[in-house]
Structure 1
Amino acid sequence: MNTPIKVLIVDDSALVRKMLQEMLSTDPALQVVGTASDPFDAREKIKQLHPDVLTLDVEMPKMDGVTFLKNLMRLHPVPVVMVSTLTEKGADVTFEAMDLGAVDFVTKPKIDLVHTFEAYTSEICSKVKTAAKVSRAMLERQYARYIANQTRKPVLAPAMARPVQKHSADAIIEKSAFNSRHFRTTDKIVALGASTGGTEAIKEVLMRLPASAPGIVITQHIPAAFSLPFAKRMDTITEMTVMQAEDGQQILPGHVYIAPGDKHLLIARDGARYICRLNDGPPVNRHKPSVDVMLRSVVQNVGPNAIGVMLTGMGADGAMGMKELQEAGAPTMAQDEKTSVVWGMPGETVKLGAADFVVPLEQVANKIMELAKR
């Protein structure tokens, strides 16, 4: 019999600690070895209990979750699943935690969980088990990357042409309306999928892309309340213009469109232009938005003018879509195993023979620009 994964719950709310303990204890593969009410208590419990995974509250007294996580990753890296509040502040803190090396996050359980207890339990148990597979070496690389990004600006991939200037939201809309009469479009579309570890991986790619990059559409598995703050955060770290996708929005070069956390993102043709379409259909591969849904629309409407990119993520969502994209004549790439937090989605893509190129995270942006020039 396999040894259970030892979990330490860190949360200042006694009620939340109790709820999380009940949920995690339903899975025989998990063993809650202790709980802690604050980071100082957690520090002692880590020394005593040697947990394999921590669940960590974002907002706590005495020391906030991110400060504690920073110390933890510097001194004693342990896989962490953040427990986040469904607020913009909660989203910002969670993304900072992901930058530092937190493996994944779940939203704070609601007091009334009668109708969602089973789904929430399944989600947190699955994410804790995935986190347990992440090596200490990966956590150390994530933290080293975080420190490096504080002190230096990544070298941009070579530009294709004169950079496209950033615009305010109103200017983008006006520009799109004006350009629709002149059929300005993006020659290529980069279609990118990601899940666990993806928020940080997407950041690493976008940081290195110049403003002259082709239009990029992204499906990242993320809660609805977090997709807009994530898009806003990405807009501050890249020369490209990043936004949450809207229905009917024209896809322009130098722009990035991120799927809302509760809608499928599809790409359609409107004359010579590509546009975003949002779909409120059922989950596909248990996900909404689904990478496969986006990629299949790209196969149908973009074909060989697309570039498929699969980054770190749990499961297999998007692997079949990548295969179909490859068969349509579009170049495809997957992030390599060494730099992936979870080599699920990219690994399944490689197993299907659907990745023309397997590249480390730091080289994805250069590869995108190289393929865009072909």
Structure 2
Amino acid sequence: MKNTRSIRVLVVDDSLLFREVISRGISSDPLIEVAARAGDPFEARDELLRVRPDVMLCDVQMPKMNGIEFIRRLLPQYAIPVIVVSGVTETVFEAMNAGAVDFEAKPDMNSPGSVQHFLEQLIVKIKNAAQAKIIAPVQPAMTAGSAVWPGNGIKGSALSLKERLIVIGASTGGTEAIASVINALPPDMPGIIIVQHIPPVFSRMFSERLNLSSALSVKEAEDGDLVVPGKVLVAPGDKQVSVRRIGGQYRLECASGAKVNGHCPSVDVLFESAAKAAGAQVIGVLLTGMGYDGAKGLLALRRKGARTIGQDEATSVVYGMPKAAYELGAVEKQAALPAIPRLLLSMLQ
């Protein structure tokens, strides 16, 4: 984000009222300017060419053409960061797959508190998106159901799998990055815990979507869940998640708590607890995201002898979190996103 001028935003929504609410709300920030508004994708196309905005906010359900198809057609021609503003439905993940960089759920318009929270979150995401780069959707080297994964799975006993632990953190651009990693892994993996900065409710939808596409069993984490081989646990969107070793087993604690590094769940909370609970038995992976959450936690893991991976700049939507970790010396191996599943498997051998 440049400090010399404001971030120019195009607001696209078929509701005149909602366009007005968004425009007034985000314009309250001195670094954001509403450059134009549009009621459908065809108006939006004309405004894009006219005002050349830095970020576009786009609804999913619109007349003439839905937002997902619009994004899919738009980005190859006009590489602009898109934030999807939608109701609470799984269509947001389709939009992310089409190339959007982030999303935010529409508020309850009858609740001033809900609207205010929505606008505050949207302002933060606009500033993040202004620094994002548009990356073509990644096709993983292997997908669930493939006959052979790199290395033909993990060599080792069930006991060694039970002892090992994989922790993954991500933020902006992370839903698609996580999916590309998880979908390329075989079912015989150690237990995996994920923190993605994501709103409540969407974390459950994200888990269910991953469960359908992956060879692993994926669910939204609950307090007291055991971390076992072949299972992926995704942190709820409003809980801090940590892992403890109790009686030879890894067990999750999910609890309401203050934000850490501006986030709940926080990657640092998970990574630091994993360093204490499992030390050298952990592999920590830090993917695309704005800010520095996870950097200190990844360093704590490395100091305990854990293996650590950071996504590289070229394939990160926002090279913020992995960059902060790299500069701290927390990243043992830096890799392009498509190479991370194979690297994970090689570290487990």
Shorter-chain TM-score range: over 0.9
Distance 1:326-1:83 versus aligned 2 partners, 3 A rule: same
Counterpart residue identity of residue 48, structure 2: I
One of 166, 189, 212 as aligned partner of 1:213:
189
Counterpart in 2 of 1:106? 104
Say which SS state the counterpart of residue 35 (structure 1) adopts: strand
Q: Is the 8 A contact 1:16 1:109 kept in 2?
A: no
Unaligned runs of 5+ in 1: 165-182
1:1-374 correspondence to structure 2 within 5 Å: 2-86=4-88, 90=89, 92-112=90-110, 114-115=112-113, 119-135=117-133, 139=134, 141-143=135-137, 145=138, 156-158=149-151, 159-161=153-155, 186-373=162-349
Q: Is the 8 A contact 1:163 1:211 kept in 2?
A: no
Q: Is the 8 A contact 1:311 1:340 kept in 2?
A: yes
1:318 Cα deviation after fit:
1.2
Q: TM-score, normalised on structure 2?
A: 0.92
Question: For each residue in 1:156-193, what CA deviation from the matched residue of structure 2 results, as whole angstroms up to 9, or x when unmatched?
Answer: 332114999xxxxxxxxxxxxxxxxxx89612100111
Counterpart residue identity of residue 136, structure 2: Q
Counterpart CA distance in 2 for 1:369 and 1:149 is 12
CA RMSD of aligned residues (A): 2.4
Counterpart residue identity of residue 129, structure 2: A
Say which SS state the counterpart of residue 15 (structure 1) adopts: helix
Unaligned runs of 5+ in 2: none
Counterpart residue identity of residue 234, structure 1: L
1:77 Cα deviation after fit:
2.5
Counterpart CA distance in 2 for 1:283 and 1:51 is 32
Q: Structure 1 or 2: larger helix share?
A: 1
Question: For each residue in 1:111-166, what CA deviation from the matched residue of structure 2 results, as whole angstroms up to 9, or x when unmatched?
Answer: 2453355543332122112212223xxx2x324x369999x9797332114999xx
Distance 1:84-1:190 versus aligned 2 partners, 3 A rule: same
Say which SS state the counterpart of residue 99 (structure 1) adopts: helix
Counterpart CA distance in 1 for 2:309 and 2:332 is 6
Say which SS state the counterpart of residue 286 (structure 1) adopts: coil
Say which SS state the counterpart of residue 142 (structure 1) adopts: coil
